[in-house]
Each structure stands twice: as structure tokens, then as C-alpha cells.
Copies of this chain bind each other. A is one copy, B any other.
Amino acid sequence: MFKLHKTQGKARRGEFHTPHGVIQTPVFMNVGTQAAIKGALSADDLKNIHCQVELSNTYHLHLRPGSDVVKAMGGLHKFMNWDGPILTDSGGFQVFSLAGLRKIKEEGVTFASHIDGRKVFMGPEESMQVQSNLGSDIAMAFDECIENPSPRDYVEKSCARTTRWLERCKEELARLNSLPDTVNPGQVLFGINQGGVYEDIRIKHMQDIAKLDLPGYAIGGLAVGESTEDMYRIIDAVEPHMPVDKPRYLMGVGTPSNIIEAVARGVDFFDCVMPARNARHGHLYTWSSGTINIKNEKYKLDDSPIDPICDCPTCKSHSRAYLRHLFKADEMLAMRLAVQHNLHFYNTLMAQIREAIDNDTFDEFRQKWSGKIDKRNS
């Protein structure tokens, strides 16, 4: 299922096979939380910006429109008209970051919907049932995502429960995949490593979940309050205990530099809302001059594209001056053109990382770009 083609140092060049196509890794997944990319991008646009994997959220789609609706419409691929690979987050992170009035028990979590406050219960089985209805290619384990820092004894207890939840997820997904009316019988489960910023808890938890021999493993609970140094330290600690022959997914990370640094530490999959969110605020990535703020006065009469060397649909057709005008005039088109550019930038960044590993030039690539692109230039 996962083929590791090549390594340079710890950086890995591989491919992951799914029922909806092969994912070349390292890969950045483009986030479409509610079965739609923020900024009015359609599934067709995703193809034009070279998106490989679309990521949607179990929590959001469970609350609205309901996974029964998506299943009745033929699953998420058909519902949103995207025929490439889809990964669904388990809802764990959102239950702990978005929902209100949480109550955690061994069975699962009762929480209040962020939309209408209604009480909802979700445990490992429910999360798998929802993800099975959605029919994603990769389902994520239902876990507890704790904030950093959290007390050591709480983290230990939480991790043990997350392991027990993972066993239940595995069993439930196997059952669901064998049902005659399952949407995507080839759906696979990735486990999620937790443990806060405690290296020993992280390692112990990783060793425990590795025993379940799942098709992939994620590092969760990072980029939730800890420093960048802590994040890299935890990856360095956990990575040697992750199966070599399975893909590794660093959840919710990050800046272009974070991604380059995590690839250098052996990570294969990424996702982050940051490029789309930055785009919506007019902060656009360029290879030539770092991150620019397109709303800046200096772009008022600038008829060059956002990035002269970019071949995204936005840069091929529109000038900085036009983009700036659209932002100033509060036109929705500003969002779309900006998100399109930033997501294309991330997808291109990953393509260049893959090419660099292929050509044994990843060290040079890392040296050239790490810490550079994120720099605010105006």
C-alpha cells in the first residue's frame, strides 16, 4: 500500500495507494472542512492547482448535512465531485477545539454542537460510522487531542484511553468495510500518536499503537500551543519508533518552513488551514519575495502577477493591482484568487520537495528555503 522509493537522510520519497488513486509523498492535503474549499474553490479548481488529496472533517459533516445525507448521495467523492483521494479527520480534534461543554468518558465524548448547541455523542464507533458513510479513502482514528502543555498524569491517562479507542476504531472499521452497502470498502485507518510534549509518553504511545499494524500513522496534538522547537523535538523523538514501511502524517502543520523541517525529520503527509486563511487576509506566498501583503499600497499600480515565476491560474491571468483592488473593494473574487494561489504554492512546494529528494538535492533545497518563504516582506 505504501512504497518507499528513496530516502535522503531522514527525508522520504514514496507513494501511497488508495481506491481513488496514488498519492505521491511527501504530500500536502488541501483542506475542505465542510466538503468545500474555503474561498469558493470547486473540485475542478483543485485539479488545476495540482491538489493530490482533499481533506474533510467528520465533526463538521456529521453535524451538517449529516453523514447519512452524504452516504445517500453516493459518498463524499460523488457529493463534492472530487474523484481523487480523500482523507477524513476523525472529529477528535474538532470535538476538543470547537465544540462546547465536553464530557469525556471511556465510551466517548458528549459535546454541544458549535452550530446550535444540541448535545451530540461521539466515540470511536460513531466516528468510524460517520467516516464510513462519508466513504473517504483514509479514515483517522478517534483520539483525544489535548492542549500543550497539559499535566503529565493527565496525558498518560489520556494516551492509554486513546490506544483503547484506536483498538475499537480498528475493529469497527473492519466490520463496516465488510457490510454489503459500505460506500468505500477499501477505506483504511490511520492511528494517531499523542503524548503532549513528553518524549517518553510519546514514544511509549507510538510503540503501543504500532503494534496494531495499521496502514499509516499520524503525529497529532502538535501545533496546539507548544513552541516550534518543542514540535521538532517531539518529531525527532517519535520518528524512530514509527514503522518505516508506513506513511507518517503530521497533523495540522504548518508553515512552509515547518513542512520542509518535518520532511527532513521523516514526515510524509501534511495538512493545514494556514495557506487558505492567510490568503483570505491577503498574505500571499512567493518564491521571489517571501510572504507579501497584497493589500499594501505599494501594489496599487503593480501590473505584475503575485509571483512572476508562478504558473497558478491566478498568476497566469491577474495582476497584483487587480488583486489589491478586489481586496480593497471587498469582492469575493479576491478570496478565490488568493486561496487558489496559496494552495497552488503549497502543492508546488511539495512537488519541489519530492523532486529534490528524487535528485538527492533535498539538503540544498532545505538550506535554500527553510525559514525564507514565511518571512513577511511587506
What 1/0 mask marks residues of chain A from 24 to 46 whose CB sits below 8 Å from any chain B CB? 00000000001111111111100
Of A139-147, A165-173, A315-323, A342-350, the segment with at least 4 beta carbons within 8 Å of chain B is: A315-323
Complex: A329 Cα to B332 Cα, angstroms: 17
**CB neighbours of A73 from chain B (8 A):** 301, 303, 319, 321-322
A332, B332: Cβ atoms under 8 Å?
A: yes
Residues in B neighbouring A35, C-beta threshold 8 A: 322, 325, 329
* A72 lies within 8 A of B34 (CB): no
Q: Closest Cβ of chain B: how far from A331's Cβ, in Å?
A: 4
A-B contacts, 8 of them at CB < 8 A, read A35-B329, A36-B329, A38-B331, A43-B317, A64-B329, A73-B322, A74-B303, A332-B336
> Across the interface, which residues of B come within 8 angstroms of A333, CB to CB?
36-37, 40-42
Please give the distance in Å from A236's CB to the nearest CB on chain B.
38
Asked if A328 is an interface residue, CB under 8 A from chain B, the answer is yes
Pairwise interchain contact B81-A328, C-beta atoms closer than 8 A: no
Q: Which residues of B contact A36 (CB under 8 A)?
A: 326, 329, 331-333
Is the pair A322, B34 in contact by a Cβ cutoff of 8 Å?
no
Q: Which residues of B contact A86 (CB under 8 A)?
A: none
**Other contacts beyond A40-B331, A65-B321: 8, CB < 8 A:** A40-B332, A44-B313, A64-B329, A69-B300, A69-B325, A73-B319, A73-B322, A81-B318
Q: A42-B317, A42-B337 are in contact. Are A65 and B300 (CB under 8 A)?
A: yes
Assess the B336–A79 pair: CB atoms within 8 A: no
- Please, which residues of chain B bring their CB within 8 A of the CB of A81? 317-318, 322
A112 contacts chain B at the CB level, 8 A cutoff: no
Min CB distance A69 to B, Å, is 6
B328–A64 contact, CB under 8 A?
yes
Cα-based distance from A39 to B335 in the complex (angstroms): 10
Within 8 A of B (CB), among A44-84: 44, 60, 64-65, 69, 72-74, 79-81
User: What's the nearest-Cβ distance from chain B to residue A44, in Å?
Assistant: 7
> Could you tell me how many residues of chain A have their Cβ less than 8 Å away from some Cβ of chain B?
41
**A39–B336 alpha-carbon span in the complex (Å):** 10
With A81-B317, A301-B69, A317-B81 as known contacts, state yes or no: A39 contacts B322, CB within 8 Å: no
Q: Which of B43, B69, B313, B335 contacts A332 (CB 8 A)?
A: B335
Beta-carbon contact of A321 and B79 below 8 Å: yes
A322 adjacent to B41 (CB under 8 Å)? no
Of B40, B72, B317, B325, which contacts A336 at CB under 8 A?
A: B40
**Assembly CA distance A37 to B337 (angstroms):** 13
**Which residues of the partner chain B approach A322 to less than 8 Å between Cβ atoms?**
35, 73, 79-81
Q: Of B39, B60, B332, which is within 8 A of A39 by CB?
A: B332
On chain B, the residues within 8 Å of A72 by CB distance are: 301
Q: Are B40 and A325 in contact (CB under 8 A)?
A: no
Q: Are B332 and A44 in contact (CB under 8 A)?
A: no
User: A37 — which chain B residues lie within 8 A by C-beta?
Assistant: 333
Question: Which B residues lie within 8 Å of A336 (CB)?
Answer: 40, 42, 332, 336
- Chain B nearest Cβ from A57, distance in angstroms: 11
Closest 8 CB pairs of A and B: A40-B332, A40-B40, A40-B336, A36-B331, A34-B329, A36-B333, A65-B325, A40-B333
Q: How far is the CA of A354 from the CA of B5 in the complex (A)?
A: 60
Cβ–Cβ < 8 Å partners of A41 in chain B: 333
Closest chain B residue to A303, Cβ basis: B73
Task: Tell me the chain A residues, 185-237 only, with Cβ under 8 Å from chain B.
Answer: none
Residues of B within 8 A of A331 (CB): 34, 36, 38, 40
The complex places the Cα of A250 from the Cα of B64 at a distance, in Å, of 43
Which residues of chain A (300-314) have a CB below 8 Å from chain B? 300-301, 303, 313
